[in-house]
């Protein structure tokens, strides 16, 4: 396994993402861009990149904060990015460009996935018309300051949400459904997991002691499988 930190510029900051690829396979392969949770690029999402690489994908976990920042600064920054869809899309595009520049990547077979606010960033790429075949969000934000225009989203869209998520509730899910319909998105769905809260894919979230933020092994496993099924359908089999 080749794991490399890649430094690049975006949003006036020096970002440090992680690229992972199985060096035993040869030739271009399908690729996945990963967008981290709000606090920053941590071992949770880096581990997901390595896991995807072990399955034969080229994977790049982008950075949207600029390295490690205090949690208060990270939350402030997320608030700013949430209110500015265009800025969010620019940051996502910078990470996507890094991924596409890698020799092992087949540019015709690329997906974007994201966790929590990273799900927002992945979805903003689709709203921006980026040439990604699939977008997957895990306990993602669904709101946007710039809803998709009709016909722009060409990716298949999968949002994996907890029914008891205190951050992403019914109103956001309903508004997202209306947006997908209005934007004439051909292939989209929300997987909704009963009795499941926010950050259900991250085993470390329980240490925060925040109500409604709970790891759920079953939802974690089911959402990962749903993602892999979609990647197989839209990116084709891994050689």
pLDDT in tens, 230-239: 999 999 998 7
- For the full predicted model, state whether its pTM sits above 0.95: yes
pLDDT at 27: 86
Integer Cα distance of 220 and 152 in angstroms: 30
Asked whether the beta carbons of 213 and 205 are under 8 A apart, the reply is yes
Which domains can be identified in the chain, with CATH numbers? 2-235 (3.40.50.1820)
Integer Cα distance of 56 and 59 in angstroms: 9
- The number of C-alpha atoms within 13 Å of 126 and in the hemisphere containing its C-beta is 35
The answer on pLDDT for 68 being more than 90 is no
The token duo for 11 is: 């949003």
Give the number of residues written for the chain: 239
Mean pLDDT of all residues in 73-85? 93
């Amino acid at each position: 396994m080749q794991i490399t930190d890649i430094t690049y510029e975006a949003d006036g900051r020096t970002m440090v993402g992680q690229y992972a690829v199985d060096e035993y396979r040869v030739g271009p392969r399908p690729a996945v861009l990963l967008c981290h949770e709000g606090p920053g690029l941590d071992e949770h999402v880096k581990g997901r990149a390595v896991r995807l690489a072990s399955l034969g994908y080229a994977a790049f976990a982008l950075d949207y904060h600029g390295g490690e920042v205090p949690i208060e600064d990270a939350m402030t920054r997320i608030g700013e990015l949430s209110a500015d869809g265009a800025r969010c899309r620019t940051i996502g595009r910078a990470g996507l460009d890094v991924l596409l520049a890698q020799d092992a990547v087949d540019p015709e077979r690329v997906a974007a996935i994201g966790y929590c606010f990273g799900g927002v960033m992945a979805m903003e790429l689709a709203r921006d018309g980026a040439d990604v075949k699939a977008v997957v969000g895990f306990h993602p934000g669904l709101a946007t300051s710039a809803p998709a225009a009709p016909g722009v989203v060409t990716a298949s869209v999968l949002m994996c949400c907890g029914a008891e998520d205190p951050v992403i509730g019914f109103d956001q899910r309903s508004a997202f459904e209306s947006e997908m319909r209005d934007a004439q998105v051909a292939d989209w769905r929300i997987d909704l997991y009963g009795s499941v809260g926010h950050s259900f894919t991250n085993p470390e979230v329980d240490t925060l002691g925040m109500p409604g933020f709970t790891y759920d092994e079953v939802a974690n496993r089911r959402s990962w499988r749903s993602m892999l099924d979609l990647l197989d359908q839209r990116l084709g089999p891994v050689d």
